[in-house]
Amino acid sequence: MPEIMRLLDHPMNHNELATQLGPLMTDPIKLIDALESLYALGRITLDEEGMV
């Protein structure tokens, strides 16, 4: 999750985020779990266009 928070200095969709993470995130399920956790903790938001 810390890697995700460092990358989110501007809005991006989940595909852009996965690309930015590159080899750090080889399992898409882990990315989804991390995003769900950050959302539940109120650390990220999701807008109408799917941008995190």
Domain count, the chain: 1
Mean pLDDT for all residues in the chain: 86
49 in a domain, yes or no?
no
Instruction: Say whether pLDDT at 45 is over 80.
Output: yes
Q: Give 48's DSSP letter.
A: T
Which residue range is the domain that position 20 belongs to? Answer: 2-40
Residue 25 located in a structural domain? yes
Residue 51 lies in a domain: no
DSSP codes joined into one string, 10-42: S---HHHHHHHHGGG---HHHHHHHHHHHHHTT
Mean of pLDDT values over 10-17: 86
